[in-house]
Structure 1
Amino acid sequence: MAVTTQQLIQWKQQGRPIVVLTAWDYAISQLLDAAGVDILLVGDSLAMVTLGYPTTLPVTLEEMLHHTKAVRRGVKRALVVCDLPFLSYQESPQQAIHSAGRVLKETGAQAVKLEGGYPKMAQTVAQLTAVGIPVMGHVGLTPQSVHQLGYRQQGKTADEGERILQEAIALYEAGAFAIVLEHIPDDLSMRITGKIPIPTIGIGAGPHCDGQVLVTSDVLGLSDRMPPFAKPYVNLRQVITQAVEEFSREVRERQFPEDVN
């Protein structure tokens, strides 16, 4: 049975943790979906992971649409969520509706994710949900604000923590079905998780969230730089390198392909 936004809220009520990973193509999404991942996030992290940019800022809406189509074709069960990239939704609610509408209409994804919970963004989320577009929020460290915030942990002071808490509440009240909490202190994520009735999905936010998300290339050991909160479960950089070196050696030594005559 396919995962729905309503089911995610039920899982929070039941205390059933939610598993989220990023995806960027058909092959990866097929594997992750078959392995039982609940939500596949086509994150704008693909700017760095797949396209080689130093930040998430350069990726375009067209590129996000392209990759989300590929991911959606590989999925049978998971909920597919697409990040709205930088400057595809911040200008106005109308721009956000147009961009998010294209995502749902052209890719088959079931929801979009956008960053920030300040008053104007909460109003944008309210307008998106009012026209039937499911929205996942994102507070704490927001990578699209890298030139303003950097990649440091957010919410370490009482004032910062209260601001992030109020942003999360505003996003819930605006109709978001879940909220990503990125790189904030454990006690703050616990407060937010206990305060709002929609799921919190943590990344570098401790064990008290309703679910956890990581960038799949980090989980698989494909990244050349790992964030402090990531955990590689295999070293595919090494596995792939060894496989390619072995193939190269066999070709150069004329051992591949084998002579069957």
Structure 2
Amino acid sequence: MTRRTTVYDLQSEKARTEGRARWLQLHVDNAEEAAAAVEAGISILSCEPDHHLEGIRASAPTAFVSVGMPHGAVASPEEAVRLGFQMLKRGADAVYCSHSPLFIEAMAREGIPVTGHVGLVPNRATWTNFRAVGRTPEEALKVLRAVRDLENAGAACIEVEVVPVRLAEHIRRGTPMITMGMGCGSACDTQYLFSSDVLGTHKGHYPRHSKRYDDFVALMAEVQVQRVRAFQAFAADVASAAYPEPRHQVDMDDAAYDRFLSLAQSL
């Protein structure tokens, strides 16, 4: 595809394939990661609405980009609509929102594509703790009810995080929304991970559903060693007068400098 992927494209493909379409999805932190994701064939991205958003958009011109609305950034549906439009203007294709369906419905009524969230919702984890959600019949029904509420509110996509595979499959089959699956096996419309987990960029906790494909902690430690070496070499060159050399500087010829001295006397 040579143009930006739209909600219509994704939902049409889901309907055409009777739910058998699958997409790769990655949460990226900067333009470099976005460019690498696109080159690797990943067509759906998510990111934060920080200063990297415009660069991510430019690096992934055809990708579908769901941009997170910070939880608590808005206190009314009207504020959600205003911020949602701002995020679309900056390059979002959908606005991720973990607020209530009331906020999502307000944005959807104005034509803003919204990504909702069910299952383990980190912004609401005080009600569940960080664990799989929906393993009992009653809790599974509660998750499904939340899905229906978001669908009725007009959400275009829904993140389904750390719920049982069979529940995720039931959700995917029963909704036209694009289900973005994280920790749900291969049941959802997208297979979704964070770039930080894939790249191994941190020493902290890695979720059970994540998989590290590289060790950027070690790589960046080596990069830091190289930085120190380069800076030490620079300092040593200055101390020994090896830098700067004539080729690193400019000068004036004698006549120009004499003329400058003459002119300077008038100040």
- Using structure 1 for the length normalisation, give the TM-score: 0.80
Moved more, 222-231 or 236-245: 236-245
Q: Secondary structure of the equivalent of 2:57?
A: helix
Alignment of 1:84-123 (within 5 A): 84-89=69-74, 91-105=75-89, 107-115=90-98, 121-123=100-102
Residue 43 (structure 2) aligned to one of 26, 38, 41: 38
2:228 matches 1:224: no
Cα deviation 1:81-133 (Å, max 9, x = unaligned): 111111124x321121122122112x1212101126xxxx2233222111110
CA contact (8 A) 2:29 2:195 kept: no
1:202 has 2:181 as partner: yes
Q: Give the distance between the partners of 2:232 and 2:29, measured in 1 at CA.
A: 33
Long gaps (5+) in structure 1:
44-63
Render the CA deviation track for 1:13-38: whole Å, top value 9, x for unaligned: 32221111112222222222232221
Give the equivalent residue in structure 1 for 2:220.
Answer: 240
Shift of 1:252: 4.8
Q: Name the CA shift for 1:88/1:187 in 2 (closer, same or farther; >3 Å).
A: same
Which segments of 5 or more consecutive residues in structure 2 lack a partner in the other structure? 238-242, 244-267
The more displaced of 239-248 and 227-236 is 239-248
Work out whether residues 139 and 182 of structure 1, in 8 Å CA contact, stay in contact via their aligned partners in 2: yes
Higher CA-based Rg = 2
- 2:27 maps to 1:22: yes
Q: Which amino acid aligns with 2:79?
A: Q
Q: Aligned residue pairs: how many?
A: 234
Note the alpha carbon deviations across 1:137-165, whole angstroms, 9 max, x for none. Answer: 11111111133332121112211110111
1:44-83 counterparts in 2 under 5 A?
64-83=49-68
Q: Deviations over 1:197-256 (max 9, x none)?
A: 2221111122211111111010111122211110111112222223433554576578x9
Query: 2: CA distance between counterparts of 1:246 and 1:86?
Result: 39
Tell me the equivalent position of 1:53: none
Counterpart for residue 11 of structure 1: 13
Match of 2:168 in 1: 189
Q: Distance in 2 between matches of 1:144 and 1:198?
A: 21
Separation in structure 2 between the aligned mates of residue 95 and residue 164 of structure 1, nearest angstrom: 27
Please say if residues 123 and 174 of structure 1, whose CA atoms lie closer than 8 Å, have aligned partners that are also in contact.
Answer: yes
| RMSD across aligned positions (CA) | 2.6
The change in CA–CA distance for 1:237 and 1:78 in structure 2 (over 3 A counts) is same
Q: Partners of 1:235 and 1:216 in 2: how far apart?
A: 12
Percent identity, aligned pairs only, is 28
Separation in 2, partners of 1:79, 1:233: 23
Determine if contact 2:196/2:202 at 8 Å carries over to the other structure: yes
SS at match of 1:66: coil
